[in-house]
Amino acid sequence: MAALVSSLASLLKQTHIEDDEEVLRAANAALKQSKNDVDTQHVKVVALLKLDRFDDALHALNAGGDALKARASAEHAYVLYKTGQPAAAAQIAHERSERAYRHIEAQASYRDEDFPRAAEIYRELSSNIGEDAAADLRVNLGAVEAQLEWSGQGHTVQKKKPSRDDLEAFETAYNAACGSIARGELPQGEILLKRSRTLCESLEDLSEEEKRAELLPITIQQIYVLARLGRDREAEELARHLDVVSSSGSSTQHIARVNEFAVSQSSNNPFLSQRLLDQSLAPSGTDQPFQFQESALRQNKFASDLQSLKYEGTAESTRVALSKATLPSTDAFYTSMGVVNAAAHARNQTGKEALKSILPVLERRPNDVGLVLTVVQLYVLTGNPGAATALLETFLARLEQTAEHHDARFAPGLVGTLVSLYRNQGRKTPLCGELAKAASYWRRKSKAQSPGLTYLYKAAGSALLDSSEKEHQQLAREIFAHLHDQDPNDRYAAAGLLASSPEQASPEQLASLTPTERLLSHIDAEALEDAGVASLPSSLSSAKTSVSTKKRSADDNKGSQPKKLRKSRIPKDYDPSKTPDPERWLPLRDRSTYRPKGKKGKARQALLSQGAVSTAVESDGGSRPATPRPDVKKKKGKGGKW
């Protein structure tokens, strides 16, 4: 036994790193003589790892038992990571404190989409570089921070703007571009992608095949950015020359082909699109799409199925996916599945016809957030915002009754939808109440500051400042103070804090705001005063029917030219040199120069004097009543009748 191990050790000393097959054969020969030799088993595992035979290495580790796994714990963790078990790999690596285990745990956490933990490890390693290459750590940390942005955890990223060092290598420039794209900074992302492409193409130590492999993800991102910017022709041209590396089962290859087909303007065949998207990815090991990529790919597939008129199959597939979730769920994947399921039941119809098909589904799944929001939108599109508001209020009130559903009840997206409905209907009181409840809940619930909560706090603070209730004003002060503590450089929070409590404003807060002189530098006060004041409608109804007018100032008519009268409106005896009679617009009998003629006219004029008594003339119309006559019998005419 000892001689065999000694011969194996002697053989390993004589072999080079390129001779891994010889090492493996020697280890297998030695294990035939001593099956339970842990040292030889360890050598075999290392040789299999060097040959990229990860499944065989995992089988050898399992065959060796706990003794081999304890001896080769680093290799065991790495094999689990490479065979698609990142959570188990991270757990094994976490039990050891050596630097090599920290690298394995960081990679496994990244693959397991535990991006905060991966970022924490890489920051610790970067603080004490040791024997590691600083450039490699910068690349890995940049990739983790980009994934934090994609996963909606960008508030934990410490560096938003790329440094000069990030622009010196194509890997770091690419990671910086991905972070910018995830934040919605598409023009900045396009610039960084061009920089990354230029750096990659200029490398001399990479072969042409390696360059094509590195340029593939860069090109895919460029196509995506151009499509998002509306430059479809450029995206299609770039996709047409896309050089997809022929690696079977590659998720990158599949995404490249999907993007190429998505931006293509020449193919409008939904059945061909459906056939492409149905091709299996066949992922293996670490070559798998991340969750946000998988969600987008599945949504593409369902959208293609709907275009291909596969309504029943899409409805059943989305129903199965929703059955795996605990509803209500605000996860983007499951809410999108609810929307697709509604579209399948409606058979791509909209308006009232779609509502007839979707409302029965809502009765069966009343806690489906995506389905509820779809019905709300259809109500709004059909001109029935009252029904939309009532449905959403009922849904949120039902969620509020269960403590487990409070996170979904006060989700910023749902609160924002209800607030938008209130605002469009001019209902300020329930609007303030909804924002106050949501802000109070999250301030008690969590101290973490996500982008969604930041927007919610800002909207709540702004609305509560206009409320007349003291409790709302106090809550607004607390919200803006919290926002200012989280980010002292946030000018919106500083302005809100100053507006809510001006007596407590510090010089630093005042200095962070834009000076009033700069804000008013482009405003001409005299021109505004000369233009007058605009009159606003007093109500929403008058706003729809009235035309906005502008009051003229008193000096508007000064120096204006008098209008010329038309000849048809000038009297024959008109003399422009004489002053017109100011009473010319009054009736003749109402003028001061009027003198009545005759007994009737004088009697009528006498009635106009104070204290006059009416005798025989009525004052209203001037007509004389019939004079009473004695009763005289008329003679009967011949041939007549009484």
- Are residues 168 and 79 located together in one domain of the fold? no
Mind listing the pLDDT tens digit for each residue in 532-552? Answer: 767 666 554 444 444 444 445
What residue type is assigned to position 540 of the chain? L
570: in domain: no
DSSP H or E stretch at residue 552: none
Q: Which residue has the tokens 């020697």?
A: 26
- The count of residues in the chain is 642
Phi, psi angle pair for 557, to nearest 5°:
-85, -5
Bridge-based pairing state of the strands 549-550 and 534-535: antiparallel
From 466, 494, 460, 498, select the one nearest 479 (Cα to Cα). Answer: 460
Distance of CA 59 to the CA centre of its chain: 47
DSSP H or E stretch at residue 160: none
488: in domain: yes
DSSP for 406-455?
HHHHT-HHHHHHHHHHHHHTT-HHHHHHHHHHHHHHHHHH-----HHHHH
Which domain does 176 fall in, by range? 162-268
Are the C-beta atoms of 342 and 361 separated by less than 8 Å? yes
592: in domain: no
- Are residues 79 and 177 located together in one domain of the fold? no
DSSP letter at 502 equals G
69: in domain: yes
N-to-C CA span, the chain: 160
Say whether pLDDT at 159 is over 50: yes
Residue 635 three-state SS? coil
What residue type is assigned to position 98 of the chain? E
> How many C-alpha atoms does 51 have within 13 Å on its Cβ side?
17
Q: What is the mean pLDDT of the chain?
A: 82
574: in domain: no
For the chain, what is the total number of helices (H) and then of strands (E)?
Answer: 32, 2
d(CA 200, CA 167): 12
Assess whether the previous peptide bond of 187 is cis (omega < 30° from 0). Answer: no
Are the C-beta atoms of 409 and 394 separated by less than 8 Å? no
Domain final residue pick, 226, 253, 268 = 268
From 178, 106, 116, select the one nearest 142 (Cα to Cα). Answer: 178
Say whether pLDDT at 367 is over 70: yes
Q: Region 235-253: what's the mean pLDDT? A: 72
Are the C-beta atoms of 215 and 201 separated by less than 8 Å? yes
233: in domain: yes
Are the C-beta atoms of 251 and 274 separated by less than 8 Å? no
From 129, 104, 168, 111, select the one nearest 176 (Cα to Cα). Answer: 168
d(CA 608, CA 606): 5
The confidence score (pLDDT) of residue 115 equals 94
Q: Which residues contact residue 546 at a Cβ distance below 8 angstroms, ignoring those fewer than 6 apart? A: 537
Say whether pLDDT at 161 is over 50: yes
Q: 616-623, long-range: CB within 8 Å, 24+ apart, which pairs?
A: none
- Are residues 261 and 169 located together in one domain of the fold? yes
Q: What CATH number is associated with residue 261?
A: 1.25.40
Are the C-beta atoms of 280 and 49 separated by less than 8 Å? no
Q: CA geometry: angle at 219 spanning 215 and 222, to 5°?
A: 145
Phi, psi angle pair for 550, to nearest 5°:
-125, 130
Say whether pLDDT at 238 is over 60: yes
Single pTM value for the model: 0.68
Say whether pLDDT at 642 is over 50: no
Domain final residue pick, 83, 111, 140 = 83
Q: Region 268-277: what's the mean pLDDT? A: 75
From 375, 369, 377, 366, select the one nearest 413 (Cα to Cα). Answer: 369
Mind listing the pLDDT tens digit for each residue in 409-466? Answer: 999 999 999 999 999 999 999 999 999 999 999 988 876 667 788 889 999 999 998 8
Residue 284 three-state SS? strand
The confidence score (pLDDT) of residue 431 equals 94
Domain final residue pick, 83, 106, 127 = 83
Are the C-beta atoms of 195 and 180 separated by less than 8 Å? no
d(CA 89, CA 101): 10
Structural domain total, the chain: 3
Higher pLDDT, 584 or 123: 123
636: in domain: no
Are the C-beta atoms of 483 and 458 separated by less than 8 Å? yes
For the CA atoms of 47, 52, 54, 57, the dihedral, rounded to the nearest 10 degrees, stands at -10
493: in domain: yes
- Are residues 76 and 169 located together in one domain of the fold? no
Mind listing the pLDDT tens digit for each residue in 187-208? Answer: 999 999 999 999 999 998 888 8
